[in-house]
Amino acid sequence: MSKSIYVLNGPNLNLLGKREPGIYGGQTLDDIKASCIAHGEKLGFTVDFRQTNHEGVLVDWLHEAGEKALGVAINPGAYGHTSIALHDAIRGIGIPVIELHLSNIHAREEFRHKTMTSAVCKGVICGFGPVSYTLALDALAHVTR
């Protein structure tokens, strides 16, 4: 198995930098990608960074990661709150998955307080803005070594 980590991003994260900067900050997803790739290199990982607005694509990428990667950091976006399919995919791939969110989901609307995916993830990081991504990579470095 390669020393790669998949960083997967769900719906609407392609709008970072434009969408509700008071909640999600001013960095774009490309800014976060560059940070993740650089941080991954420091940790000795290759980062495969992807974004889609489609639930089934995330499921396919999780399956692929189960065959090719050491672990996954996933920001499932709103799918984290609703997707049994993502829950089942994470549960089935046999590698550690860290769920992450830019905002503190527990300090937001009630419907964001619980995620379907967190129960099958190794851990959850939320509320640290773009740093949540590098914290997730640090966590994966810890649990995969």
Angle among Cα 142, 60, 46 to the nearest 5 degrees reads 35
Tally of residues, the chain:
145
Angle between helices 84-93 and 55-68 (to 10 degrees): 10
Catalytic residue chosen out of the listed positions 79, 87, 101, 133: 101
51 beta partners? 9
Separation of alpha carbons 99 and 89, rounded Å = 13
Angle (CA) 38 91 82, round 5°: 85
Catalytic residue among 24, 39, 79, 87: 24
* CA 72 and chain centroid, separation: 7
In the residue annotation, 24 being an active-site residue is answered as: yes
Residue among 55, 138, 50, 114 nearest 90 (CA): 55
Residues marked active site are found at: 24, 101
